[in-house]
Amino acid sequence: MQQYVQKRRPKEELAIVLDFLKNGYPDDPRPLHRREPIVQAIGKAHFVILELIPQPDQFFKPYDEVYIGEGKRDKISYIKGTLPFNRLTQTAKTELMFILEKMVTDKEKLFVDFYNKSGPISLRAHQLELLPGIGKAHAKELLAEREKEPFNSFEDIKKRVTSVSDPKKAVINRILAELEGRDRYKIFVGVNHSLVH
């Protein structure tokens, strides 16, 4: 049987812009002409929130995709580092919800695989229970149903396990909880997922 396992410290290749601060942070004590522009973004593969420094004379808007991998970057000068959730601007926090919705929809297969292959985290708890709204009873139903036949979509999960009303929303809310640092377990953010036998 396959198990859903995680490897730490993945690198992001692409990021999606959440906000662009042309004049840097408003609370930066330096004079305006000394501040560097900042791009707040989320990594496309591993949902890591990043602070990026753009190349000179670049302009960005939310949803822009930027290359931040190894080698030549055309729009981003360098990655300043990861950014705690509480340092996101209000614009970035608002856009984050819509961007997460799109990212999870685009990666539906990855998250359906999580429902199909996630495993126990202890003798008493299962990874499925880390999803908001899914307790022990729901997890047991999901496990019993996936044993019969693997799930093939969020819609399939909803139809076959009616007590789980919105499996996609559960994933989005879990990613948000991890970004906000509300749980010590990381199952989606900053984790490199792979399946092993």
pLDDT computed for residue 192 by the predictor:
67
pLDDT computed for residue 5 by the predictor:
46
Q: How is the chain split into domains, by residue range? A: 3-92, 105-196
Task: Give the count of beta carbons closer than 10 Å to the beta carbon of residue 134.
Answer: 22
Strand partners, 193: 6
Under the phi-then-psi rule, with left for phi > 0, alpha for psi from -120 to 50, and beta for the rest, what region is 8? beta
Which CATH homologous superfamily contains domain 105-196?
A: AF1531-like domain (1.10.150.280)
Q: How many residues does the chain have?
A: 197
| pTM (two decimals) | 0.87
DSSP string, 127-173: GGGGSTT--HHHHHHHHHHHHHS---SHHHHHHH-TT-S-HHHHHHH
Exposure string for 13-47, b = 16+ CB within 10 A, e = fewer: eebbbbbbbeeeeeeeeeeeeebebbbbbbbbbbb
CATH class as words, domain 3-92? mainly beta
pLDDT computed for residue 4 by the predictor:
45
Q: What is the pLDDT along the chain (197 residues), one digit of tens a residue?
A: 344 444 445 689 999 999 999 999 888 888 887 889 999 999 999 999 999 999 999 999 999 999 999 888 899 999 999 999 999 999 999 999 999 999 999 999 999 999 999 999 888 889 999 999 998 999 999 999 999 999 999 999 999 999 998 999 999 999 999 999 988 888 899 876 543 32
Listed residue (184, 15, 40, 21) closest to 103, CA to CA = 15
pLDDT computed for residue 183 by the predictor:
83
From residue 78, alpha-carbon distances to 9, 163, 180 in Å are 18, 46, 24
